[in-house]
Structure 1
């Protein structure tokens, strides 16, 4: 439930609660700026691909600018995606304990207000995208179809996490499109590896709502895997590590990139060992820890790109 300030149930103290003006809080919560972990998880494949592409190009001079643009774009477009998700899911959200305090079902933001806010965020995202080449713009716009259909997948398939993976991993293509103006095998392998990563971490996240989802007829890999979740996490995380390793190999990455991948793999292995699907608080903590896993991989890829550019 939300408290007297309108805080969303699965949010803790943050800058939105303490610093944002009252009129802005419902919209910032709608865009999940009180819970930025999703923005980080959308951003990280962008940063991985930018670093790998810079390594291929042996040139990191534009990398900081590309990383900064990706940062802004990921946070804005994740906010837009969450706004769209909450518009389409407003009736379902009202039936789930964790989500009924979100701004739309709680009556803090009207559907019309949410649509207008969505348009504003999309325009900011478009402004970021227009900083890139025509090829990169086309690749970026192509992601919108996947983003648009994702909220409806949980109604028809136990694999909505696959569609989320297609959307949240799109940044794995964008770094190559921006830096190299092409998508090769390294980009495709990175994209596929990121999809496997997303399927696994979002399965962990979905275990928080498993009982409510079963009651209202919403499907997820958490319900599909059930007690087999640890084994399935091990499978998808292993696929992610192997495919990202293949991407590094296609990109002719060096030992620093391999070291980053090793640290990433070790973090994922820890998650598999630690998971207890009947502990929602632990599931949320493990889900959030994927930001750290992704940053470890990025550090290795960025260091490798820097060395290769010298």
Structure 2
């Protein structure tokens, strides 16, 4: 006798909505934010700010997943990898997903309220970019660039929380990080390129066409080069540059994963990208710890 799969609980559906079991997206946001926090504070920023940015990153990434799934629900049903997402499948309604996402964003805003006025002001800009991003796939040939801004906004907010202002170095770090986001999200877009072409979504993988692999590697190179130049300007030590060298090595390994453009290879490269951000952060942290 055939058996039917058990109906998922409401809790498991909401955990699936925020990708609870797939934390890579949170790490991709977290490591550059923490790197900026350490650079802004010239070392350990204190437990309060560390808690604010770690918890805030998790909450905002979770809220972003809810908004993204609502915005993409009509597209996701045509993509095998995303067809069973809770909103797309109808297991969670649009209204419920938006309410849940708003609640998570409000919790994150509550954390921001414990910092300072400039950081509170910047949080509104960060929220606006996060909400705007999912809709850019309909008209912008490189929506990954908008995601790059959204996923890098923790950098100016970190400087604002520590210093009460956002100096030029923060924007330079954001620019460099934007290229990293372009690299890994283009890898992600390469996974779904065939489906995206059918349904009319615009992505960097489609825009770059046969130059997609070369584009990804150039994006990685720009990220490492910009952060290296910033490190030289700040007088960073060997540990910082060692982290960037390891990151460059990981980027080279990713080339071997994506050069044949297989779905599995491209998805593996994207999924493991957070290690690249992690080694850069470790380099930053060690550099200040040994001073």
TM-score where L is the length of structure 2: 0.94
Distance between the aligned counterparts of 1:304 and 1:291, measured in 2? 20
For the residue of structure 1 that corresponds to 2:87, the secondary structure is coil
- Asked whether 1:298 is paired with 2:260, we answer no
2:29 equivalent in structure 1: 42
Distance between the aligned counterparts of 1:255 and 1:177, measured in 2? 27
| Residue 205 of structure 1, aligned match among 188, 194, 198 | 188
Distance between the aligned counterparts of 1:28 and 1:108, measured in 2? 12
Distance between the aligned counterparts of 1:5 and 1:204, measured in 2? 34
Q: CA deviation at 1:203?
A: 0.3
List alignment gaps of at least 5 residues for structure 1: 8-21
Superposed structure 1 runs of 4+ greater than 6 Å apart: none
Number of residue equivalences? 288
Q: CA deviation at 1:69?
A: 2.0
Alpha-carbon distance change, 266 to 170 in structure 1, aligned in 2, over 3 angstroms: same
The answer to which of 265-274 and 187-196 deviates more is: 265-274
For the residue of structure 2 that corresponds to 1:143, the secondary structure is helix
1:179 equivalent in structure 2: 162
Distance between the aligned counterparts of 2:188 and 2:20, measured in 1? 18
Q: CA deviation at 1:192?
A: 0.2
| Residue 97 of structure 2, aligned match among 114, 133, 156 | 114
Distance between the aligned counterparts of 1:267 and 1:295, measured in 2? 11
Q: How do residues 125-140 of structure 1 correspond to structure 2 at under 5 angstroms?
A: 125-140=108-123
Q: Retained in 1: the 8 A contact 2:257–2:268?
A: no
Q: How do residues 21-170 of structure 1 correspond to structure 2 at under 5 angstroms?
A: 22-55=9-42, 59-60=43-44, 62-170=45-153
Q: Deviations over 1:269-296 (max 9, x none)?
A: 2212331353111111111221111110
CA RMSD of aligned residues (A): 1.7
- Asked whether 1:289 is paired with 2:272, we answer yes
List alignment gaps of at least 5 residues for structure 2: none
The answer to which of 37-46 and 275-284 deviates more is: 275-284
Q: CA deviation at 1:4?
A: 3.2
Pick the structure with more helix per residue.
2
Q: Retained in 1: the 8 A contact 2:187–2:269?
A: yes
Q: CA deviation at 1:303?
A: 0.9
Alpha-carbon distance change, 251 to 176 in structure 1, aligned in 2, over 3 angstroms: farther
Distance between the aligned counterparts of 1:269 and 1:112, measured in 2? 43
Q: CA deviation at 1:141?
A: 2.0
Alpha-carbon distance change, 157 to 5 in structure 1, aligned in 2, over 3 angstroms: farther
Alpha-carbon distance change, 307 to 231 in structure 1, aligned in 2, over 3 angstroms: same
